[in-house]
Structures are given as structure tokens and as C-alpha cells.
């Protein structure tokens, strides 16, 4: 018997927790430190239970408005950037202090939409965030408002959180808000909704106007859930005012929030993404040992198993993988550019730094960044 959607949430292991400004600020009057402390206590408990947690946090603008003594959020872009920079200091300090009580380290991560669109920066961010999770560091992510522009911006942190879910292949995007879930025309909230059922009409109907503190609403959360679903992540819109919100979410509580179910499993979604719609820039030829390792052993591709490299590509580009007879094995995103890859053919991973003078990763292609067609 297959697991129900709520059971799949319980089985999730990599979680994005997105928390909005209205929850993090005390009625718009600065940061609500007590709330942040409770949130971090819940995250620490989730970590101790084996969950990997990334926080996408709003609140910098609201905190900056308060710190500068302004009465409301500014509307001019440059003023928004100023208050965000001022408020970010207090926001990350509050997280750092709260996590330190549980012997955890917080890491400030500032990203822009342009970072996510640049292949090399995308892979760097992905590798760094995954390594942080290995070290039990809690990444606290926000958009880098100081250098973001109107034309290159996530728009709000719901969309940023969805992109992070894709970036690190999260199992669940938990969007904490003041709303109890998805409501329509005053009716009770829905428990589970299939992503395929969320149409453009729903985006217009299930809408709640933003408030003076935050920039998002239910509409932006539905749009974010659509994005997260592309890599197979489920999304849960839930009441962040509940003092046990994370515990209730991860316990599979059917009465807590609205679960938006991704249409296809995470692994299948990523394989489909890698296998289609990619601009293939080159070809790597594998010896028989490497073919056996990546096909039968489901291993990453090491440089020692590559016999030839064709094409011109940069780190993060898509390449075709083939055996020495010319048969296509699959497709992958590479960790090294074509010049470096040619220099690494047949080379042991331990010698990469000696040959190149640097080493991005041990693998020339990580298992997570390839799809095998055999």
C-alpha cells in the first residue's frame, strides 16, 4: 500500500521552513525575539530527530523600518534596500543567539535571482548549502535586497524558498503564515490538494491581500508551491502562530494546514528535468569500469573513469555520457569545464588539485546531477 501524502511528509528528511515578516515582528514593531526563540527551539528538535532544516526568513525590512524609526514600509526601491540592510543585522543576530542555546550554528546566506540563473553560482550555492547541512549548520537565507533589482528579483521570499527547495532537492517546503491554510470564500481550509488541481483560476480565487508588514499572501504561496513541485517537493501552508507548528507539520497532523502535493515523486521529477530540455554542450566517454559504476552501482562519475571529452562547456553545463562504443548512457551537469575535464581524463580524484591547482568537487559529475537511461 502506497503512503498517503501526509505520511510522505512524515518520511521527509530535508525541509525548507519559510517564515514571513508578520510572524517575526511584534505587530510591526521590531523583531519578536520570543517567537524566533520558539521557532529555533522547534527546529533544533527537528534536527535531533534526523531532519535537515533550511530556514528562509523574511523580517529584515520590518526590523529595519523599526530600527530607523520609520512608521511604515518604504515604497522606493533604494529605501527598501537601506532598511533591509539595517534590519538584516538584527535578524541574523537573533537567529544566531537562538540557535546557540541549542548548540547549533546559524549561517547567513544572501542570494539573488541572478545567482540562481547562473550555472556556476547555482552549483556553488548548492554545494555550500548541502555541506552546511552535513556540518549540522542551519542556513538562514534571505534575498540580497541591497544588490537585487526590480528586473532581477525573486519578488518575495515564498518564491525564493521554492527555488531553494529545487536547489537542494528538499522533500518539503513548509510555508508558515498567519493563515490556517488554504481557504476559499470563507469556507473551511482544504486538507490536501494535488498540484495539478491548482490552476490559474485558483491563484486568483485563493488570494489574500498582503499586509503592511509582509509582501506575500496565499496567492504567492500557491505560485511558490508550483515551483517547488517541479523537483518533487510537497508544500504545506500552515499557521506559524501555533507554538508547535513544526512538530505538527512533521507529525503528519491532518488537521494542520493545507498540503499541496507534488504531482510526481522527487527523484522522477529530477530525472525528467535532466533528461529533457537541456542544452547539451558536450560529451564525456566512460570506460567500462565507470559505466558499471554509474549504471549498476549508481555511483558518481570520477575523472579516473573518463577516457575522452568532446565539446566546449563550462561548469554546470549539460553533457551527454556515453560508453566507448558510442552508446548513450545518460545526461549530466558537470562540475568542471571542458578544458579542466580534458586534463583530468584518467586522473585519480586525489590528484585533481595537483593538476588543476584547485578542486571544486571530488567527482567530475555528482550522482545527484545525472540521469541514467539504461
Q: For the chain, what's the residue count?
A: 374
pLDDT value for 277: 43
The dihedral built from the CA positions of residue 228, 139, 146 and 118, taken in this order, carries a sign that is negative
pLDDT value for 211: 38
Asked if 171 contacts 266 with a C-beta cutoff of 8 angstroms, the reply is yes
Per DSSP, helices labelled H in the chain are 5-11, 21-24, 33-48, 60-67, 77-100, 113-117, 119-134, 157-168, 200-205, 218-229, 245-250, 266-275, 288-291, 338-343, 352-356
pLDDT value for 144: 83
Question: 232: left (phi > 0), else alpha (psi -120 to 50), else beta?
Answer: left
Closest CA to 232 of 270, 191, 273: 270
* Cα–Cα distances in angstroms (integers) from residue 210 to residues 83, 159, 356, in the given order: 19, 15, 51
Closest CA to 54 of 24, 93, 12, 112: 12
Residues 6+ apart with CB under 8 A from 297: none
The strands making up 328-333's β-sheet, listed across from edge to edge, are: 306-311, 280-286, 318-323, 328-333, 370-372
How wide is the angle at C-alpha 43 spanned by C-alphas 158 and 90, nearest 5°?
65
Provide block-wise average pLDDT over 10 residues at a time, the chain (374 residues). 82 94 78 95 96 94 86 84 90 96 95 75 87 94 75 68 90 91 59 64 49 56 83 90 95 90 67 60 95 91 96 90 91 93 96 93 90 78
pLDDT value for 214: 43
* Cα–Cα distances in angstroms (integers) from residue 139 to residues 257, 309, 362, in the given order: 24, 36, 23
pLDDT value for 203: 54
HSE-CB of 77 using CA atoms within 13 angstroms: 11
The dihedral built from the CA positions of residue 297, 298, 299 and 302, taken in this order, carries a sign that is positive
> How many C-beta atoms surround the C-beta of residue 23 within 10 A?
22
pLDDT digits (tens, 9 = 90+) for 113-165: 777 767 678 778 888 999 999 998 999 999 887 776 554 445 678 989 998 99
- φ, ψ (nearest 5 deg) of residue 192: -135, 135
pLDDT value for 30: 80
Residue 344: which H helix or E strand, with range? none
Rounded Cα–Cα distance for residues 315 and 187 (Å): 50
Burial of 198 (0-12, 13-18, 19+ CB in 10 A): buried
Asked if 162 contacts 195 with a C-beta cutoff of 8 angstroms, the reply is no
Please count the helices (runs of H) and the strands (runs of E) in the chain: 15, 13
Amino acid at each position: 500500500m502506497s503512503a498517503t501524502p501526509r505520511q510522505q511528509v512524515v518520511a521527509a528528511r530535508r525541509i525548507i521552513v519559510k517564515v514571513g515578516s508578520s510572524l517575526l515582528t511584534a505587530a510591526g514593531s521590531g523583531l519578536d525575539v520570543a517567537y524566533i526563540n520558539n521557532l529555533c527551539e522547534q527546529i533544533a528538535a527537528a534536527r535531533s530527530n534526523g531532519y535537515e532544516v533550511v530556514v528562509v526568513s523574511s523580517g529584515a525590512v520590518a526590523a529595519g523600518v523599526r530600527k530607523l524609526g520609520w512608521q511604515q514600509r518604504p515604497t522606493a526601491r533604494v529605501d527598501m534596500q537601506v532598511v533591509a540592510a539595517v534590519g538584516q543585522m538584527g535578524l541574523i543576530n537573533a537567529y544566531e543567539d537562538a540557535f546557540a542555546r541549542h548548540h547549533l550554528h546559524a549561517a547567513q546566506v544572501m542570494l539573488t535571482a541572478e545567482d540562481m540563473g547562473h550555472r556556476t553560482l547555482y552549483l556553488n550555492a548548492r554545494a555550500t548549502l548541502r555541506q552546511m547541512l552535513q556540518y549540522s549548520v542551519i542556513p538562514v537565507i534571505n534575498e540580497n535586497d541591497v544588490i537585487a533589482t526590480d528586473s532581477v528579483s525573486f519578488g518575495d521570499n515564498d518564491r525564493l524558498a521554492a527555488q531553494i527547495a529545487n536547489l537542494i532537492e528538499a522533500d518539503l517546503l513548509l510555508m508558515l503564515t498567519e493563515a490556517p491554510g488554504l481557504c476559499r470564500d470563507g469556507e473551511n481550509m482544504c486538507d490536501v490538494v494535488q498540484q495539478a488541481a491548482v490552476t490559474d483560476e485558483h491563484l486568483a480565487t485563493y488570494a489574500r491581500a498582503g499586509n503592511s508588514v509582509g509582501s506575500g499572501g496565499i496567492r504567492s504561496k500557491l505560485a511558490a508551491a508550483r515551483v517547488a513541485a517541479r523537483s518533487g517537493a510537497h508544500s504545506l501552508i500552515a499557521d506559524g502562530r501555533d507554538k508547535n507548528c513544526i512538530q505538527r507539520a512533521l507529525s503528519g497532523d491532518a488537521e494542520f494546514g493545507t498540503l499541496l502535493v507534488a504531482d510526481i515523486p522527487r527523484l522522477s521529477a529530477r530525472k525528467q528535468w535532466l533528461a529533457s530540455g537541456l542544452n547539451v554542450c558536450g560529451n564525456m566517454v566512460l570506460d567500462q569500469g565507470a559505466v558499471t559504476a554509474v549504471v549498476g552501482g549508481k555511483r558518481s562519475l570520477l575523472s579516473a573513469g573518463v577516457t575522452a571529452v568532446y565539446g566546449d562547456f563550462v561548469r554546470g553545463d549539460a553533457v551527454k555520457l556515453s560508453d566507448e562504443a558510442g552508446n548513450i548512457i545518460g545526461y549530466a551537469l558537470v562540475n568542471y569545464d571542458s578544458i579542466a575535464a580534458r586534463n583530468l581524463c584518467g586522473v585519480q580524484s586525489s590528484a585533481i588539485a595537483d593538476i588543476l591547482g584547485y578542486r571544486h568537487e571530488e567527482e567530475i559529475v555528482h550522482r545527484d546531477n545525472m540521469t541514467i537511461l539504461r
